[in-house]
């Protein structure tokens, strides 16, 4: 069974692309949602988070205190690396279990959506990665429209922290152009057909 990643900058259209693949019957693993679930529910990860960042990481009801954790890692690259070093392997292990279940269920291919694909080691578990790309100005306009709570400056700050599109494209095996010029559905259909029929693409190192 093929395991394919989907990545792209903020507002590039990852979630939109995943919706299309889901509609075609492909199982999709959402790494960001799953990471949040694991931080709340995986006992080993909870213990590791408490040991690393203190018991205050969880509130009196045992819920993850996200604002507290965000404040701890904000502007602290060592703490952020430590957090990612705990969460990413837990997500990787969880994805492996999920993917095995999909294979047992007869899936031909599965997708893993992750904003941080090349920034983490996530791509190493996969047979290929799709980069979803759109010009920065288009992405900015989309996110401003989608997320009224975010300012232009906040979105630009997130973009500045992300790997540039050119680097994602260079490292990906497949590219989906979501700039509004090329229709997305035919591009997704073409990849779907390819994944159903192809042998594994070599992963770049």
How many other β-carbons are positioned within 10 Å of the β-carbon of residue 153? 8
Separation CA 88–CA 34 (nearest Å): 11
# residues contacting ligand ATP (CB under 6 A): 14
Query: Which range of residues in 14-22, 52-60, 169-177, 186-194 is near ligand ATP by CB under 6 A?
Result: 14-22
Closest CA to 204 of 169, 164, 162, 166: 169
Mark residues 160-199: x for contact with ligand ATP by CB under 6 A, - for none: ------------------x-x---x---------------
For the segment 112-131, give every residue that binds ligand ATP (CB under 6 A).
Answer: 115
Closest CA to 6 of 196, 190, 174, 201: 174
Strands of the chain, DSSP E: 2-7, 28-30, 109-113, 128-133, 174-177
Considering only 146, 156, 193, 200, the residue that binds ligand ATP (CB under 6 A) is 146
Considering only 2, 4, 5, 12, the residue that binds ligand ATP (CB under 6 A) is 12
CB 31 within 8 A of CB 113: yes
How many other β-carbons are positioned within 10 Å of the β-carbon of residue 129? 25
Please report whether residue 141 would count as binding ligand ATP according to CB under 6 A.
Answer: no
Q: How far is the CB of 11 from ligand ATP (least distance, A)?
A: 5
Please report whether residue 16 would count as binding ligand ATP according to CB under 6 A.
Answer: yes
Q: How far is the CB of 32 from ligand ATP (least distance, A)?
A: 8
């Amino acid at each position: 069974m093929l395991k394919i990643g989907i990545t792209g900058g903020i507002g590039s259209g990852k979630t939109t692309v995943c919706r299309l693949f889901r509609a075609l019957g492909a199982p999709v693993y959402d790494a960001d949602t799953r990471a949040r679930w694991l931080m709340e529910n995986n006992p080993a990860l909870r213990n590791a988070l408490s040991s690393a960042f203190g018991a205050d990481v969880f509130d009196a009801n045992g819920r993850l205190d996200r604002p507290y954790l965000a404040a701890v890692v904000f502007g602290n690259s060592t703490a952020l690396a430590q957090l990612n070093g705990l969460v990413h392997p837990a997500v990787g292990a969880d994805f492996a279990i999920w993917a095995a279940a999909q294979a047992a269920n007869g899936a031909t291919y599965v997708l893993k959506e992750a904003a941080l694909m090349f920034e983490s080691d996530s791509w190493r578990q996969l047979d290929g990665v799709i980069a979803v790309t759109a010009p920065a100005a288009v992405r900015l306009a989309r996110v401003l429209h989608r997320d009224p709570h975010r300012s232009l400056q906040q979105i630009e700050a997130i973009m500045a922290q992300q790997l540039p599109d050119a680097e994602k494209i260079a490292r990906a095996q497949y590219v989906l152009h979501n700039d509004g010029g090329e229709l997305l559905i035919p591009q997704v259909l073409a990849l779907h057909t390819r994944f159903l029929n192809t042998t594994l693409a070599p992963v770049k190192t």
